[in-house]
């Protein structure tokens, strides 16, 4: 009987499990009716992002419980901070560092967006352009429209290059006192092109007589008084400022011009074939010290031959001479150290055996010198070109002919 009772009990248990599996699932809980055409939105929990290389800053430390006032009536001294606090490193594996400051409760590292580097920075390229020659500036402007707009639109770049290539040191405090006038209705870019395109006065007139030339430099005329001399020395007395300087030129070899156009002047030295003259001992060549206003070549009347050079006078030096020199000075700055650099000829002229000409210039004066072979004298001619018949003088020449 026992085996039959045990089988019946096991069978009843299995039957109960089977019946429970066959029961239908309970109905879901009642939900509020949804509007037709609406989509149900469910929020899904986002997984927490963990970076194995970085760990967030440590949690804040709980505040310390201060003892009651009765337990510690004496004032407590402030403990030393150095050596007692640490700052945890955000990188796993690095040792903490000591700090003498109080520990920060919580530090948040906020990344800041940085502006990406821009290759087209006007201020940067304006500074770079100051170290380029005029031909390089033109080549850079031909690369794209942005550089063309920058280099041809920014006139200060060409002004800087103009003074730099003329070796006018505008950082000198004495030169800053001089007035640097702006061109008359011109741009610095046009002035640079006309000053450094290898053109000279003899290209427009008498090109067959010209042999060679070289650029001396530039100087400033902040006044209308200019002193011309046929020697590397100042006259004992200042020549009179009259309209006819022939007498002072023939007597002292110097003249004072009082109607000169202020501005930037450019000086050149030329070797020219001697024109037909009555001197039988002429060697056939002569040297010319020419100074002109920087805007002369932009005038149409100069190019078409309307403006001509007029003779101011001649000075003849009789007897054999060792050298031939000429100078042009800004008359209002005769007593400055710049004039002394010109008059100290022994410091810059060549040796007696060297016959090559040499020039020297300062911001307010210019001079040239050439050693001569055995000769019988020197003829110096002074010439000037005026803006009109009685207008301002825009160019001067000192021609020296060896006899």
pLDDT tens per residue across span 116-150: 556 678 888 888 888 899 899 999 999 989 899 98
Asked, for residue 182, whether it belongs to a domain, the answer is: no
The predicted structure's pLDDT at residue 48: 61
Q: Does residue 43 lie within any of the structural domains? A: no
pLDDT on residue 188:
87
Last residue within a domain, chosen from 133, 153, 171 = 171
SS (H, E, C) the chain: CHHHHHHHHHHHHHHHHHHHHHCCCCCCCCCCCCCCCCCCCCCCCCCCCCCCCECCCCCCCCCCCCCCCCCCCCCCCCCCCCCCCEECCCECCCCCEECCCCCCCCCCCCCCCCCCCCCCCHHHHHHHHCCCCHHHHHHHHCCCHHHHHHHHHCHHHHHHHHHHHCCCCCCCHHHHCCCCCCCCCCCHHHHHHHHCCCCCHHHHCCCCCEEEEEEEEEEEECCCCEEEECCCCCCCCCCCCCCCCHHHHHHHCEEEECCECCEEEEEEEEEEECCCCCCCCCCCEEEEEEEEECCHHHCHHHHCCCCCEEEEEEEEEECCCCEEEEEEEEHHHCCCHHHHHHHCHHHCCCCCCCCCCEEEEECCEEEEEEECCCCCEEEEEEEEEECCCCCCEEEEEEEEEEC
**Do 163 and 285 have their domain in common?**
no
Residues 259 and 152 reside in one and the same domain: no
Report the phi/psi class of residue 222: left, alpha or beta, with left for phi > 0 and alpha for psi in -120 to 50: alpha
pLDDT tens digits along 285-305: 889 999 999 999 988 889 888
CB 324 within 8 A of CB 402: yes
Does residue 314 share a domain with residue 244? yes
Q: Is residue 48 part of a domain?
A: no
Residue 319 resides in a domain = yes
Same structural domain, 161 and 293: no
- Residues 237 and 145 reside in one and the same domain: no
Residue 314 lies in a domain: yes
Mark whether 210 and 261 lie in a shared domain. Answer: yes
Asked if residue 44 belongs to a domain, the reply is no
Residue 79's pLDDT is 46
- Answer whether residue 83 is part of any domain: no
In a domain, 105, yes or no: no
**Which residue range(s) make up the domain with 167?**
122-171
Q: Based on the number of CB atoms within 10 Å of its own CB, is 178 exposed (0-12), middle (13-18) or buried (19 or more)? A: buried
Q: How far separated are the first and last CA of the chain, in Å rounded?
A: 164
pLDDT of residue 99: 46
Same domain, 238 and 286: yes
Q: Are residues 322 and 256 in the same domain?
A: yes
Consecutive 10-residue averages of pLDDT for the chain (403 residues): 52 56 64 56 60 50 61 51 42 44 48 57 86 90 90 86 83 56 75 89 87 91 91 86 85 92 92 68 78 91 90 90 92 85 88 90 92 87 88 93 77
CA atoms within 13 A on the CB side of 99: 10
Structural contact between residues 364 and 178, judged by C-beta atoms closer than 8 angstroms: yes
Question: Domain check: are 142 and 226 in the same one?
Answer: no
Looking at the structure of the chain, the number of domains it has is: 2
Sequence-distant (≥ 6) Cβ neighbours of residue 206 within 8 angstroms: 272
Taking the C-alpha atoms of residue 286 and residue 214, their distance in angstroms, rounded to an integer, is: 15
pLDDT at 333: 86
- Residue indicated by tokens 């006192």: 177
Pairing of strands 365-371, 377-386: unpaired
């Amino acid at each position: 009987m026992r085996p039959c009772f045990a089988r019946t009990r096991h069978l009843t248990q299995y039957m109960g499990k089977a019946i429970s599996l066959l029961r239908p699932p309970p109905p879901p809980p009642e939900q509020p009716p949804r509007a037709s055409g609406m989509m149900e939105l469910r929020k899904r929990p986002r997984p927490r992002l963990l970076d194995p290389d970085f760990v967030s800053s440590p949690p804040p430390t709980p505040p310390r419980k201060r003892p009651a006032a009765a337990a510690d009536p004496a004032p407590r001294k402030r403990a030393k901070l150095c050596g007692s606090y640490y700052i945890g490193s955000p990188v796993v594996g690095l040792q903490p560092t000591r700090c003498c400051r109080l520990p920060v409760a919580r530090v948040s590292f906020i990344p800041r967006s940085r502006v990406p580097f821009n290759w087209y920075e006007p201020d940067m390229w304006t500074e770079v352009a100051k170290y380029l020659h005029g031909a390089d500036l033109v080549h850079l402007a031909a690369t794209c429209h942005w550089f063309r707009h920058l280099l041809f639109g920014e006139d200060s770049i060409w002004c800087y290059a103009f003074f730099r290539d003329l070796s006018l040191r505008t950082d000198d405090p004495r030169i800053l006192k001089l007035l640097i006038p702006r061109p008359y209705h011109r741009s610095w870019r046009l002035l640079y092109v006309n000053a450094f395109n290898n053109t000279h006065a003899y290209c427009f007139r008498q090109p067959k007589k010209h042999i060679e030339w070289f650029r001396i430099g530039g100087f400033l005329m902040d006044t209308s008084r200019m002193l011309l001399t046929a020697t590397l020395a100042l006259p004992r007395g200042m020549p009179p400022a009259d309209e006819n300087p022939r007498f002072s030129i023939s007597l002292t070899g110097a003249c004072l011009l009082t109607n000169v156009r202020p501005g930037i002047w450019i000086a050149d030295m030329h070797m020219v074939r001697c024109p037909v003259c009555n001197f039988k001992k002429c060697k056939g060549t002569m040297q010319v010290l020419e100074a002109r206003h920087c805007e002369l070549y932009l005038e149409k009347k100069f190019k078409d031959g309307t403006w001509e050079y007029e003779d101011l006078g001649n000075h003849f030096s009789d007897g054999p001479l060792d050298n031939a020199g000429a100078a042009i000075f800004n008359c209002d700055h005769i007593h400055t150290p710049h004039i002394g650099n010109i008059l100290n000829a022994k410091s810059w002229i060549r040796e007696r055996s060297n016959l090559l000409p040499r020039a020297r210039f300062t911001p307010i004066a210019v001079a040239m010198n050439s050693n001569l072979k055995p000769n019988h004298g020197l003829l110096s001619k002074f010439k000037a070109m005026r803006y009109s018949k009685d207008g301002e003088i825009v160019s001067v020449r000192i021609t020296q002919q060896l006899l």
